[in-house]
Chain A
Amino acid sequence: MATEAPTAADAPMLLEVRDLHVEFRTRDGVAKAVNGVEYGVRAGETLAVLGESGSGKSVTAQAIMGILDIPPGRITSGEILFQGQDLLKLKEDERRRIRGAGMAMIFQDALSSLNPVLSVGDQLGEMFVVHRGMSRKDARAKAVELMDRVRIPAARERVTQYPHQFSGGMRQRIMIAMAMALEPSLIIADEPTTALDVTVQAQVMDLLAELQRELNMGLILITHDLGVVADVADTIAVMYAGRIVEKAPVHEIYKAPAHPYTKGLLESIPRLDQKGQDLFAIKGLPPNLMNIPPGCAFNPRCPMAQDICRTDVPPLAKVTYEGLTAERRSACHFWKETLRG
């Protein structure tokens, strides 16, 4: 997936998020969860959105899907263009028709994302009943077909079973099957493998990547696991305090990060050749979203912070160097220094 795919790169943007701002009004004040996120994904392309808890990656996804809880959430400004159409200008009814058929979402915990009182067949079939007006019988047949497709053994027998009768990996396959049911052009997977065993993680990721290729879908993969990202993503967007701090082709970012935060994340990965040494950790805590530090939000934790970082918000500037073919951006005043290491 990480190799250049000229067809995908030339394709028009399937989804484009422009300057999105989301805030939550709570009793204690206004939490600015998303502060000007910009990213896009083309058909057949995988964008990995990376970040800690509270970095705004899931909130952005919910805003795209239109499942943000409003109130307390509020989209204060921005555009979300899906196939050229601004979703934020659509009526709720029109958005509902896009959900499931045009774009679908896979959630982190498949057990809690499946209704415990309905059989998996009913839940899979519901996609066809809701969006295609199929009869229950036809929908059931489709459900079996889908379960076969995500390689659940003995699909015909298991279609009548309930979610708790499946293992974690099988449940996530069912979630994937539900999301794929209507062959949407965009899938958002919110930490799809976090709740799974490492061995199962790889299987589920492979399945997801394979189905993506087959259906030429755009995939937004939200994760905090750098290991998952390396194999499947084309582009990585790193988020911090509701902003994109770095956006780069996957192999470039691993070679040399252009933002101190990305660098810290990469250095925090445990490595076999570091046996016996202390594990690196980014010092400090993520900022309180009700009180984001002025200037660069990362400055209190940044080893390279200068005076300018405490006053000026760094723009998401274009990063250029010899040998770089695709677009790369970093929101650091000192990306050149960071790149050099």
Chain B
Amino acid sequence: MPEPHDPAEGAIAGTGAGGAMDLAASEATTLAPGEPGGPGGTGAGAPARSLWSDAWRDLRRNPVFIVSGLIILFLVLISLWPSAIASGDPLDCDLANAQKGSSPGHPFGFDGQGCDVYTRTVYGARASVTVGVCATLGVALLGSVLGGLAGFFGGAWDAILSRITDVFFAIPVVLGGLVLLSVVTSNTVWPVIGFMVLLGWPQISRIARGSVITAKQNDYVQAARALGASNSRMLLRHIAPNAVAPVIVVATIALGTYIALEATLSYLGVGLKPPTVSWGIDISAASQYIRNAPHMLLWPAGALAITVLAFIMLGDAVRDALDPKLR
């Protein structure tokens, strides 16, 4: 996205109305005599350059975005460098400490195996963020390519793909996970990610298909065709940039749910498996001690809740910024 200079940028602080007037004034000076003035306008009089710069401007002023963004930034940092804030080893456990409460150097106490809950909670972020981000990327990529092509070309390809998505929609996620993942023996995060992509892409595919069909009907796509643009050029340059917003919104919100799904699957014993450190595994292990040692459950569950909430809030903020109907 080219970001040209913005003469009205300075007017943002003075809210949309002032900015719009400034823009109208600067526009009027460059008009030929006899031409009616006034910008085409994108909604509430924001001094907009394009959908994207407009959305970014909205986001920067949205406290929900700032709060969720900071939480997510923090999560990403600790999943990259967990040792920066947790000096211990999450797998270094001493049964003598099992179920003990908070003590100096061990603020969150110990779990049933005598592992430090604080260290495990910090290290657990990596699994959650990895699963969430990779599953979302995979789902978004596969879903938007398949859905986008179906929407663009229509016909038989579209009909077949739509029926396939219907089939996938009919599979209950948890049941599917229990069946498919119970046969996997790998200890890595990849089977879980693969499973989420497999069951998740139809959701994005349907949205991508719909928004490509909408974008395809725009006059400028017809105009591009009339001026000799090829299918791939129309799809990549004219349709995709105008159809990608709903996909981004849904994918961001879905990211939170994938993290929760990983915890659910791990809790059920078919997701990640020890020695991988994951909130879901810890929640599962802690659930049997909930009466005696609730701290074992509260910390990983709290971290999970905050993470999921942060991604869903981010998705909401992005949706508000990208959906012109909400302006």
Contacts and interface: CB of A to CB of B under 8 A. Distances in A.
Contacts, number: 126
A241 interface: no
B179 to A, nearest CB: 41
B219 A165 contact: no
B40 A113 contact: no
A130 B31 contact: no
29 contacts: A67-B226, A97-B228, A99-B225, A99-B226, A100-B228, A101-B228, A105-B226, A109-B219, A113-B219, A113-B220, A113-B223, A115-B237, A127-B227, A130-B227, A130-B230, A130-B233, A153-B30, A158-B30, A160-B4, A161-B4, A166-B40, A167-B31, A167-B35, A168-B36, A169-B35, A171-B40, A175-B223, A181-B227, A200-B35
B120 to A, nearest CB: 45
Nearest to B225: A67
State the main secondary structure of chain B at its contact with A.
Answer: loop
Contacts of B228: 96-101, 127, 130-131
Contacts of B5: 160
A65 B222 CA distance: 11
Interface of A: 65, 67, 96-101, 104-105, 107, 109, 111-119, 122, 126-127, 130-131, 151, 153-154, 158, 160-171, 175, 178-179, 181, 197, 199-200, 203
Nearest to B47: A165
B302 interface: no
Contacts of B2: 119, 122, 160
A97 B230 CA distance: 9
Interface residues of B, number: 40
A153 to B, nearest CB: 6
Which of A130, A153, A165 is the most central at the interface, judged by chain B CB atoms within 10 Å of its CB?
A165
Contacts of B227: 99-100, 104-105, 127, 130, 178-179, 181
Interface in B178-232: 218-220, 222-230
A203 B32 CA distance: 10
Contacts of B1: 117
Nearest to A197: B36
